Amino acid sequence: MNSKSFFIFNEYVLCLLFLLSGLNSFAQTSQYSSPRTYREYTSPYNLGVIQQTMIYKQQQADQNRYLIDCEVEEILDTLDEIAELTDGFNQSQMNIIKKFTRQLNESLQCDLSNGANARSIIKWLNKCHRYFRSWEDGDNSIGSDIGEYSSNISVKEYSGKVSVSKFAPILDSPDSNRGKRIAEVRNGSVTILEKVSNKNYYKVSYEGIIGYIWRAFIND
């Protein structure tokens, strides 16, 4: 190798070393090669509050559905008793039972976590129950049909002695989940002592027993 070729080779090597050192420096300082740090993500929504709200609404819906189911069970028991006593139903009665079933299914499509919806359904069920009872008692004063279910039932406050659904439960606290049943109304009436604040319960007196009754069991 002559001196000129050696000089060119040395320049090539030096340039190569320079480039390699530059790439190494770039690799050490590049934003793509160094680990990134990110700020903690902050959700625009309070997910904890949303979750608690959904849990509460589900609990309310379950509670209201339980009360509705209890009233429906009472009606079905009544219809079973009447069927045994009368050897079945005539065609007109069968049509009314079918109408009742259809309207019940439609009413249960609403938001059952809403107390007003649940109260209107139970009030309508109470009316239906009294009507079906008339088939057994022969009482024609109630009417000839169950009527149409309507959710537009005005909210009413009660005081003094009131009529309630037969076998309506009286609890030891105004809470259907935790309250224990201490009595059942058998004579059809209770005396209201006071309304429980922010709840759909009334404090009542019944045959010397003090307890709480859900307002939907009170008859208009």
Q: Which of 26-40, 92-106, 162-176 has the lowest mean pLDDT?
A: 26-40
Give me the residue spans of the domains in the chain: 48-155, 157-220
pLDDT at residue 15 above 60?
A: no
The CATH code of domain 157-220 reads: 2.30.30.40
Hey, what long-range contacts does 167-171 have (CB within 8 A, 24 or more apart)? 167/74, 168/213, 168/214, 168/217, 169/213, 169/214, 169/217, 170/204, 170/206, 170/209, 170/211, 170/212, 170/213, 171/201, 171/211, 171/212, 171/213
Instruction: Report, as an integer, the average pLDDT of 32-52.
Output: 55
Task: Give the tens place of pLDDT for each residue, 176-205.
Answer: 778 888 998 888 899 999 998 767 789 999
- d(CA 54, CA 64) in angstroms, rounded, equals 15
List the beta bridge partners of residue 203. 194, 212
Highest mean pLDDT among 82-96, 188-202, 203-217: 203-217
CA distance 142 to 127: 9
Degrees, nearest 5: CA angle 71-166-158: 95
- Per-residue pLDDT for 141 more than 60? no
By mean pLDDT, which of 36-40, 63-67, 103-107 is the weakest? 36-40
| Mean local confidence (pLDDT), 134-162 | 67
Q: Tell me the C-alpha distance between 53 and 56, whole Å.
A: 5
Give percent above pLDDT 70 in the chain.
65
Span 101-122, average pLDDT: 83
pLDDT of 61 above 90:
no
Please report which confidence band the pLDDT of residue 56 belongs to, taking 50, 70 and 90 as the band edges: low
- Range with the poorest average pLDDT among 43-52, 108-117, 178-187: 43-52
pLDDT at 206: 95
Please tell me the predicted confidence (pLDDT) of residue 20. 47
In this prediction, residue 207 has a pLDDT band, given cuts at 50, 70 and 90, of very high
pLDDT at 135 over 70: yes
pLDDT tier for residue 209 given thresholds of 50, 70 and 90 = very high
Q: What string of DSSP letters covers 151-174? A: S--------EEEEB-TT-EEESSS
